[in-house]
């Protein structure tokens, strides 16, 4: 019987470690090839200059050495996969990583040939780098699973592990986005398009194509740093996650070093050594984040398996009952494809999306002083819909535990078992990436970055942090829903000005009284599931006072646009009428204190915002746009 000390297992340890190390070295050597401009010294593929062994003088040696490494890595991966298959009964978790590595190396070889065929174009180079980094990451996870096989994985049934694992997963995706953007920037020769730091050349810089490509890489890197620092703060504040803190500390250090290396690379005029170290550190950071996510989520999975086993041991008949009651979403989807589509549409929160798209469209019309180009409207709203759908889907994935306990949300696709959580997460991530790419190429870079910022803020700041920690969650988290008007404005004007900022703050201040009306109706449920909404923590009286205060502040914000000469008399009359009705509704909620008044005010507040933005559109039609 094969054990963790048997010969095949020892060989698997050696081969997995060698494969991971060689893949990492090959990624670093790829940077050397690119930096020395040697990518096209072999203009054909798979041969080099028509022969298998060319003259290695000059820069040819760089490219040829890189190509020679590919079959060596392929052999190492094939051997590792064979050994992982032989050891599958001892260490079953290694085999999926081995199969993934086989698939990735095949894709990598094909991309290598396409990179030559397309003359080292930016998309092909960036894709080649991304798959290379992914191959190393998968091999690193394979090596970790092999080396940790002899140790008992702890069963940690702590929500903190789940939260840290999910946060690490998001940081990893952001890191890989930065890697792709970095490869694209390098192949586009845009490394020195922006010489300022942290912005391009101040707030006004970053408008040329090269500068937008450069800043795309930077913003992905900044997002990664922000997520990693959030991860570190949560890890060192949480109790019971001590075994993860060393790894998280290393990751935080790598992220800070990565930003510093990027700044030094630009300031040095793209010093070759710094560029190589920058790429090596970035790939290592992404792999470490993948490792952290795997460790944290695997520990939770072990705890879930142990809990399920304990339940079945207590009741021998429980296994059959569990199987009978467990939902089978995939089988259901095959039987009713229409229902499956409806479930995925439900993940996108279409009711929320409709209001967000309305504020986006009206902001575009306000900025244009009329109807913008139909094509621009289409592409902007498509990107906005994708971004909103991404936020909604990831939010449902993260909130599935509390959704299952609340009457308002327990029939959502995930808690009802109609959609698997991991499928919802993948769906949301793909939609978010699609939104960014579509807006970047079809609208402009500012709209793309703003929409992505909205997704990240809603997911990371509101859903993963504020919602479960502070009664001010809606106040601060309301910034996410305030971004769509900025996206619409940026789509038309390619900039943000005072009107756009005021539109943002109007939605920001409108959000708390709007949502607190719903929170008043559901305060018992929020208290039961541990969500610190203001009515559940501070009580109804405090919440009602806050609704009135925020309504007064909202009135001031809406009216101030007139003396600032941003809106005219038509808007002023409409705003005053709407503000008076909104304030009357707030006072009614405070005085009557019934679910009927709270529900009516909740619905009226949405109508209020729609009519207010419509009034701005009508006013601007006669006065011109931005």
**In percent, how much of the chain has pLDDT > 90?**
33
Mean pLDDT calculated for residue range 503-529: 89
Domain termination site, one of 151, 176, 194: 151
Domain of residue 569, residue span: 337-621
Residue 92's pLDDT is 80
Is residue 315 domain-resident? no
Is residue 537 domain-resident? yes
Q: What is the C-alpha separation between 415 and 404, in angstroms, rounded?
A: 5
Residue 534's pLDDT is 87
Same domain, 344 and 222: no
Which CATH number covers residue 490? 1.10.357.140
Domain termination site, one of 116, 151, 186: 151
Same domain, 521 and 561: yes
Is residue 312 domain-resident? no
- The per-residue pLDDT for range 479-510, each reduced to its tens digit, is 888 999 999 999 999 988 889 999 999 999 99
Q: How many domains does the chain contain in total?
A: 3
198: cis peptide before it, omega within 30°? Answer: yes
Same domain, 604 and 497: yes
Residue 313's pLDDT is 41
Same domain, 291 and 401: no
Same domain, 113 and 191: no
Residue 134's pLDDT is 92
Residue 109's pLDDT is 82
Residue 409's pLDDT is 83
**In percent, how much of the chain has pLDDT > 70?**
87
Q: Which of 191-205, 382-396, 442-456 has the lowest mean pLDDT?
A: 191-205
DSSP-derived letter for residue 510 is H
360 Rama sector, left if φ>0, alpha if ψ -120 to 50, beta otherwise: alpha
Residue 317's pLDDT is 42
Q: What is the C-alpha separation between 609 and 504, in angstroms, rounded?
A: 12
Same domain, 160 and 282: yes
Length of the chain: 626
A 10 A CB-CB count for 600 gives 15
**pLDDT band at 380; cut points 50, 70, 90:** very high
Long-range contacts of 492-501 (CB under 8 A, 24+ apart): 492/364, 492/367, 492/368, 492/372, 492/376, 492/625, 492/626, 493/367, 493/626, 494/207, 494/444, 494/446, 495/446, 496/446, 497/626, 498/564, 498/566, 499/366, 499/367, 499/561, 499/566, 499/626, 500/363, 500/367
Same domain, 58 and 201: no
Average pLDDT, the chain: 83
- The per-residue pLDDT for range 223-235, each reduced to its tens digit, is 999 999 988 888 8
Residue 76's pLDDT is 92
What CA dihedral angle connects 403, 407, 413 and 415, to 10 degrees?
50
Question: What pairs with residue 118 in β-bridges?
Answer: none
Same domain, 62 and 164: no
Same domain, 344 and 257: no
Domain termination site, one of 121, 151, 181: 151
Is residue 62 domain-resident? yes
Q: Which of 162-171, 444-453, 597-606 has the lowest mean pLDDT?
A: 162-171
Is residue 366 predicted with pLDDT exceeding 60? Answer: yes
Q: What is the C-alpha separation between 79 and 142, in angstroms, rounded?
A: 13
Mean pLDDT calculated for residue range 178-204: 83
Mean pLDDT calculated for residue range 280-302: 84
């Amino acid at each position: 019987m094969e054990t963790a000390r048997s010969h095949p297992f020892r060989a698997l340890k050696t081969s997995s470690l060698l494969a991971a190390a060689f893949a990492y070295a090959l990624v670093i050597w790829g940077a050397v090839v690119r930096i020395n401009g040697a990518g096209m010294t072999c203009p054909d593929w798979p041969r080099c200059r028509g022969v298998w062994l060319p003259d290695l003088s000059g820069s040819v040696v760089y490219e040829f050495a890189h190509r020679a490494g590919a079959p060596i890595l392929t052999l190492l991966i094939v051997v590792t996969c064979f050994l992982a298959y032989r050891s599958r009964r001892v260490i079953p978790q290694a085999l999926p990583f081995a199969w993934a590595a086989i698939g990735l190396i095949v894709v990598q070889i094909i991309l290598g040939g396409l990179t030559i065929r397309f003359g080292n174009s930016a998309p092909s180079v960036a894709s080649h780098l991304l798959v290379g980094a992914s191959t190393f990451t998968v091999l690193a996870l394979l090596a970790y699973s092999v080396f940790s096989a002899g140790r008992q994985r702890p069963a940690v049934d702590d929500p903190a592990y789940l939260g840290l694992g999910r946060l690490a997963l998001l940081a990893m995706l952001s890191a890989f986005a930065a890697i792709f953007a970095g490869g694209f920037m390098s192949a586009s020769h845009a490394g020195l398009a922006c010489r300022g730091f942290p912005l391009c050349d101040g707030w006004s810089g970053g408008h040329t194509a090269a500068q937008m490509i450069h800043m795309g890489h930077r913003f992905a890197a900044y997002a990664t740093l922000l997520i990693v620092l959030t991860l570190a703060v949560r890890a060192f504040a949480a109790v019971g996650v001590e075994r993860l803190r060393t790894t998280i500390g290393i990751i935080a250090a790598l992220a800070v070093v990565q930003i510093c290396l990027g700044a030094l690379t630009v300031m040095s005029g793209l010093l070759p050594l710094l560029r190589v170290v920058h790429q090596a550190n970035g790939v290592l950071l992404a792999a470490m984040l993948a490792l952290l996510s795997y460790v944290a989520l695997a520990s939770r999975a072990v705890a879930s398996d142990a809990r399920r086993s304990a339940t079945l041991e207590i009741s021998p008949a429980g296994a059959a009952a569990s199987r009978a009651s467990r939902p089978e979403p995939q089988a259901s989807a095959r039987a009713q494809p229409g229902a499956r589509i409806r479930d995925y549409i439900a993940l996108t929160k279409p009711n929320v999306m409709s209001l967000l798209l309305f504020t986006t469209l009206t902001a575009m019309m306000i900025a244009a002083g009329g109807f913008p180009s139909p094509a621009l409207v289409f592409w902007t709203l498509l990107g906005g819909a994708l971004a909103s759908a991404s936020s909604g889907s990831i939010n449902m994935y993260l909130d599935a535990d509390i959704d299952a306990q609340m009457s308002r949300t327990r029939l959502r696709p995930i808690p009802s078992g109609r959609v698997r959580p991991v499928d919802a997460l993948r769906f949301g991530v793909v939609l978010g990436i699609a939104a960014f790419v579509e807006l970047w190429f079809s609208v402009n870079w500012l709209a793309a970055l703003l929409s992505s910022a909205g997704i990240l803020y809603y997911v990371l700041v509101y859903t993963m942090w504020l919602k479960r920690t502070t009664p001010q969650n809606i106040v601060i988290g309301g910034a996410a829903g305030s971004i769509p008007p900025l996206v619409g404005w940026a789509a038309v004007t390619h900039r943000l000005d005072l009107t756009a900022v005021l539109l943002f703050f109007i939605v920001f201040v409108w959000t708390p009284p709007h949502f607190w009306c719903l929170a008043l109706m559901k305060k018992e449920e929020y208290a039961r599931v541990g969500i610190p909404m203001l009515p559940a923590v501070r009580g109804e009286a405090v919440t009602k006072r806050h609704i009135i205060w925020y309504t007064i502040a909202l009135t001031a914000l809406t009216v101030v646009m007139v003396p600032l000469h941003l809106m005219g008399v038509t808007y002023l009359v409409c705003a005053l009428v709407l503000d008076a009705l909104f304030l009357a509704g707030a006072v009614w909620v405070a005085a009557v204190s019934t679910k009927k008044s709270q529900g009516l005010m909740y619905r009226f507040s949405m109508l209020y915002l729609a009519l207010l933005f419509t009034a701005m559109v009508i006013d601007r039609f006669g006065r011109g746009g931005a």
